[in-house]
Structure 1
Amino acid sequence: MITGASSGLGKELARECYYKGARLTLIARNKLALGSLLKELEPSSRKSDYGNFVQIYNTDLSKNDKFEEILKSAESRFGGVELFVCCAGLMETGTFLTSRQEQFREQMENNYMSLVNSLLPIAKEMCQRKKGRICIVSAAQVYMPIEGNSAWLASKAAVHALANSIRPELNRNKVYLSIFAPGAIDTEGWEKVSSKKPKSLLDIEGKPLSVEKACTELLRGISACDLYITTSPIFRFIRICSLGAAERGSSIIDILLSPFAMLICCGVTKYINFKSR
C-alpha cells in the first residue's frame, strides 16, 4: 500500500513494485493521475479503479477521509497489507519572515496529519496480525535545517519524531518501521518549488537525485531491514552525530565513525552558514 502514489517517489515506487510482482493498493488525491497510472501498469484493465494486481483509491488523507474503509476494502481483495509506504505530502518553500501562518498549518496537515490518519489504522491492523513493515518518508534536512524550508521542515521533523517514538511499540508486535530520509529528489514537486528558491539554497541542497535512483535506494533499505535509509553518505554521517536522536543501526560502527562524522558535520555546517550569508 502506497500513499501519495499519483506522482513523484510514490508513483515510481508503484512502478518498481508492480514489475517485481507485488499486488498494489495506491492512494492519492489526484484521481485523474491515479487512473492514468493504473492504465499504464495494466492497460488491459476494463475497470476504472482496479485491475488484476492494482487497485486505486482517491482520497484526501489530511482530512481523515475514508481511510479505514479503504483499508478494509483493500484487504478484502488482496489480503493483509505486507508493506505500507507513506509518500503522501506537500512541499512549500519560503523564508520564515515571509511566510503566512496558514502555510505552517497546511504543511502540518498535508505532511504530518495525513501520515497519522493513515498510519494509525494500518499499524493497529498489522499489530493484531503480528506482521508487517512500514516505511515513512521524512527528509535528511531534518538533521541540518536550511533557511527557506521552515514550514516544510517543521512538518517533516514531526514525522521523523513520530516514527522514532512509535518504533519500540511496533517492534514488540513484530511490525518493523524504517525511515527514508532522502536529500533532494528530482520530482515534479521539487521542480515546482526549486524555481522559487534562492541560488544559495539550491547550492546547499546540491543536485537532486533521480527519482529512479531514490526509489532503488528505498527498496534496497527496506529489503535489508534498515532502520534509517538515506540517499547520501553525508547524511549518514550527520545521523551518527545526532547524539541518540536517530535510531542506531550498529552502535559499534557508529562509535568508530563518530570522529570522522564530527569533522564532516562541522564542515557541512560552516558551508551552510557561508552560503546563507
Structure 2
Amino acid sequence: MAHVIITGGSSGIGFAVASIYAARGARLSLIARSRGLLEGAQAKLIASSGANADSIRIEAADVAVESDVEAAIRRCEQAFGPCDILVASAGIVEPGRFEELDSASFRQQMDTNFSGTVHAVRAVYDSMKRRRRGRIMMISSGAGLLGIYGYSAYCASKFAVHGFAQALRSEARPHGVSVSVCFPPDTETPQFQRELAARPPEAATIMGTVRPWPAEAVAKRIVKGTDRGRFEVYFGTTLFLLGRFAPAVRPLLNWWFDRAIVRCGNTATHNRGVSEHRT
C-alpha cells in the first residue's frame, strides 16, 4: 500500500484528496495545525471509506516551522514507511491592498504557502531520491499565474511555488522522482468563505461571479494528474490558456482588469457622493 502524506489534510482540498486515497486503501498521514480538525477528518475518512483507524495517522504541526513539519513527517514515516506520494496542500489566504496588509500578514502567507511547501518537500525528497521513486504534488493557485488586485502576498507565495516546482522538476527527474504543480480556481472550502468576506470590491469586480469548483472535483484532477505524472495540472479553459500562453494573454487581461478597477472606483466614489448628499 502506498504511503500518502498530505499537508493541510484536515479540510478543503487536502481533505478531499485524502478521501480519494483513503478509498483506494492507501496509508494516509494528515498534517495540519489543528489537532481537533485532524481528529474530525480522521473520523470522517474512517466512516466514509471504511478505512481502518490504524491506516490513517494524524500529526498536528505548522508547516511554516521547518523543524515541526520535519519531525511530524519523520514520525509518519516511522509508522507507515517512506513517503510514496506527498501532496503539499497547506495554505492560507488573507486578501487586502498592499498598503493595508501589515508585514506580519504578508510574511505569514509567504511562510505558510511557499516556505511550508518547501519544508514538506525537503522532509521527503532525499528518501525519494535514494529509492528512485516518489511523487510530489504542490498546490499553487490560479493566482500563481496572474497577479490579482488585493492579493499581493498570496500571488507572490503561489508564483514562488510554481517557480520552485519548475526548478525541482529538472533536478528530480533524473532520479526517478515526479514533481507536479497544480493551479486550482476558487474552490468551495471553509477558507474560501472567509476569504470572500475580506476580498476588496475591486478584486470581486475583476474576478466576477464564476461559481467556485467543488473541492471533490478539484481533488479528482489533482489525483489524476499525480497518477499520470503530469507536471502542470490546470482547471478549466481559462486557466489552461493562461498557463500555456501567459505572455500573450496577460496584457489583454491586465487591460481589461485596469478598466474594471477604474469603473469600480468611479462607482464607489459616486455612491459615497450620493450618500453624503442625502445626509
TM over 0.5: yes
Distance across 2 between alignment mates of 1:98 and 1:178 = 34
CA deviations on 1:131-183 (whole Å, 9 max, x unpaired) are 10000001122222111101111111111111111111111111011101112
Distance across 1 between alignment mates of 2:11 and 2:258 = 33
Deviation at 1:203, TM superposition (A): 4.0
Deviation at 1:34, TM superposition (A): 0.3
Please, which runs of 5 or more residues in structure 1 have no aligned partner? 44-49, 244-261
Aligned to 2:107: 105
Aligned to 1:145: 147
Q: What one-letter code is carried by the residue in structure 1 that aligns with 2:253?
A: V
Aligned to 1:30: 34
| Structure with the larger helix share | 2
CA deviations on 1:48-102 (whole Å, 9 max, x unpaired) are xx92221111111211233333333322332221110000111110011222122
**TM-score, normalised with respect to structure 2:** 0.84
Give the number of equivalent residue pairs: 253
Percent identity between the aligned chains? Answer: 25
Q: What one-letter code is carried by the residue in structure 2 that aligns with 1:207?
A: R
Aligned to 1:259: none
Task: Find the residue that maps to 2:135 and give its secondary structure.
Answer: strand
Runs of 4+ in 1 over 6 A off after TM superposition: none
What RMSD, in angstroms, separates the aligned Cα atoms of the two structures?
1.9
Aligned to 1:249: none
Which protein shows a greater Rg?
2
Please, which runs of 5 or more residues in structure 2 have no aligned partner? 263-279
Whether the 8 Å contact between 2:66 and 2:116 is mirrored in structure 1 is yes
Distance across 2 between alignment mates of 1:266 and 1:153 = 17
Whether the 8 Å contact between 1:182 and 1:232 is mirrored in structure 2 is no
Task: Find the residue that maps to 1:183 and give its secondary structure.
Answer: coil
Whether the 8 Å contact between 1:26 and 1:55 is mirrored in structure 2 is yes
Aligned to 1:209: 213
Aligned to 2:243: 239
Task: Find the residue that maps to 2:118 and give its secondary structure.
Answer: helix
**TM-score, normalised with respect to structure 1:** 0.85
Aligned to 1:57: 59
Whether the 8 Å contact between 2:93 and 2:195 is mirrored in structure 1 is yes
Whether the 8 Å contact between 2:97 and 2:149 is mirrored in structure 1 is yes
Distance across 2 between alignment mates of 1:269 and 1:235 = 15
Q: Does 1:225 align with 2:229?
A: yes
Task: Find the residue that maps to 2:136 and give its secondary structure.
Answer: strand
Deviation at 1:273, TM superposition (A): 2.2
Distance across 2 between alignment mates of 1:141 and 1:37 = 27
Distance across 2 between alignment mates of 1:214 and 1:275 = 28
Q: Does 1:39 align with 2:24?
A: no
Distance across 2 between alignment mates of 1:145 and 1:137 = 17
Q: What one-letter code is carried by the residue in structure 1 that aligns with 2:258?
A: N
Deviation at 1:227, TM superposition (A): 0.9
Deviation at 1:120, TM superposition (A): 0.8
Distance across 2 between alignment mates of 1:40 and 1:8 = 13
Deviation at 1:265, TM superposition (A): 4.8
Aligned to 1:68: 70
Distance across 2 between alignment mates of 1:25 and 1:42 = 13
Closer/same/farther in 2, CA of residues 72 and 144 from structure 1, 3 Å limit: closer
Q: What one-letter code is carried by the residue in structure 1 that aligns with 2:23?
A: Y
Q: Does 1:155 align with 2:157?
A: yes
Deviation at 1:266, TM superposition (A): 5.1
